[in-house]
Chains A and B, each alone.
Chain A
């Protein structure tokens, strides 16, 4: 693979350059554009590190959905003219300390033990029992299932936290600012053409994650992105936050996961243990529920807190 060093060299130069561009840019919108590009370049780095699942997640969540969130906020936040920028002694001191942190991490990276400790052999051994083909899916849904459960719960907690910021009179309204139906038709056209493709793609990505790179998070974020696109074009309104259906959708994934985990006490060895004969169907069921909940939670995390009282 003689050409790969060229790609590696370009990435090793481009990623810090774009990070610097984002930090040093004078206006916020170019900084955000650089940040989205940073996410996409990082996805390429993840591919070079042999982690396609992470590359998909970084591109979708780290670059895409975070970018939408930040750009939407930048459009609404008034950035007052900054107070006097910190003087050069403080900046020099901070730069030296950050350099120290970088140096410490670099030393740690170069001093990593050889041969590298790894759990890959154990994962490979146990993967056959889960009947999954994708080792990362095996880790997420079987070996370290409790981490994934807690992560799904973190999403629910974040949604609750954001809803809790609603002004008292606005509780129960529809989250987020009103998105007017866009006057020029191009974004509305995009929002009508792209979601069917995106929904198929998202479901496919979640489904194929059992045996190939993909999974609930990646597929769920594509589904969320399609809804967010339609929302930004003014084609759909978010449901009211006191709607039971919405709340059920948000908790369905983690609740089902938790139930399956508790059922493990009864039908298998313990918490989060799957019964041997039913492992793959149960995992797929949990992954489907998780995909749905993750998509809904991501949409709500981008939409935000209700700003006005619900009218009907």
Chain B
């Protein structure tokens, strides 16, 4: 059972890292602000979510697991609000030079 849990943790964290790498690649290579935002939100939501999911079996207690999920929820909230603002400003400015 614990081997299964460890395997699950490793796979989930690796999946999360893959999304982070993809998001960073998108940030560096996409041509304009809106598509870069698109890449970054994937890193925030999916990447962090998978990492948190993978770390949940390793959290010491239910409370520890809840704290991890709270951290993810706060990042989601902040990321969502900030992406909206950046996107609105980017739309106003037009395509990046």
Closest chain A residue to B84, Cβ basis: A186
* Separation of A182 and B84 alpha carbons in the complex (Å): 12
Question: Interface readout for B16-37 with A: 1 if CB under 8 Å, 0 if not?
Answer: 0000000000000000000000
* Separation of A194 and B75 alpha carbons in the complex (Å): 11
* Separation of A193 and B82 alpha carbons in the complex (Å): 14
- CB–CB B85/A194 < 8 A: no
Closest chain A residue to B80, Cβ basis: A186
* Separation of A111 and B80 alpha carbons in the complex (Å): 49
Closest chain A residue to B88, Cβ basis: A184
Give chain A's interface secondary structure class.
helix
* Separation of A182 and B78 alpha carbons in the complex (Å): 16
* Separation of A187 and B84 alpha carbons in the complex (Å): 8
- CB–CB A194/B77 < 8 A: yes
- CB–CB A197/B88 < 8 A: no
- CB–CB A190/B81 < 8 A: yes
* Separation of A184 and B85 alpha carbons in the complex (Å): 8
* Separation of A79 and B10 alpha carbons in the complex (Å): 48
Query: B62: CB under 8 A from chain A?
Result: no
Of the residues A187, A193, A197, contact of B85 by C-beta under 8 Å? A187
Closest chain B residue to A191, Cβ basis: B81
Query: B3: CB under 8 A from chain A?
Result: no
Query: A20: CB under 8 A from chain B?
Result: no
Q: Write out the residue numbers on chain A whose beta carbons fall within 8 Å of the beta carbon of B85.
A: 182, 184, 186-187
B residues 29-81 near A (Cβ < 8 Å) are: 74, 77-78, 80-81
Query: A189: CB under 8 A from chain B?
Result: yes
Interface residues on A, range: under 10
- CB–CB A189/B74 < 8 A: no
* Separation of A190 and B78 alpha carbons in the complex (Å): 7
- CB–CB A193/B80 < 8 A: no
Closest chain B residue to A197, Cβ basis: B74
Whole-angstrom distance from the CB of A68 to the nearest CB of chain B?
Answer: 13
Question: Interface readout for A193-213 with B: 1 if CB under 8 Å, 0 if not?
Answer: 110010000000000000000
- CB–CB A184/B84 < 8 A: yes
Closest chain B residue to A185, Cβ basis: B84
* Separation of A189 and B82 alpha carbons in the complex (Å): 11
Question: Interface readout for A60-99 with B: 1 if CB under 8 Å, 0 if not?
Answer: 0000000000000000000000000000000000000000
Residues of A within 8 A of B (CB): 182, 184, 186-187, 189-190, 193-194, 197
Residues of B within 8 A of A (CB): 74, 77-78, 80-82, 84-85, 88
11 A-B pairs, CB-CB below 8 angstroms? A184-B84, A184-B85, A186-B81, A187-B81, A187-B82, A187-B84, A187-B85, A190-B77, A190-B78, A190-B81, A194-B77
A-B CB proximity, top 9 nearest:
A186-B84, A190-B81, A186-B81, A184-B88, A187-B85, A187-B81, A186-B85, A184-B84, A193-B77
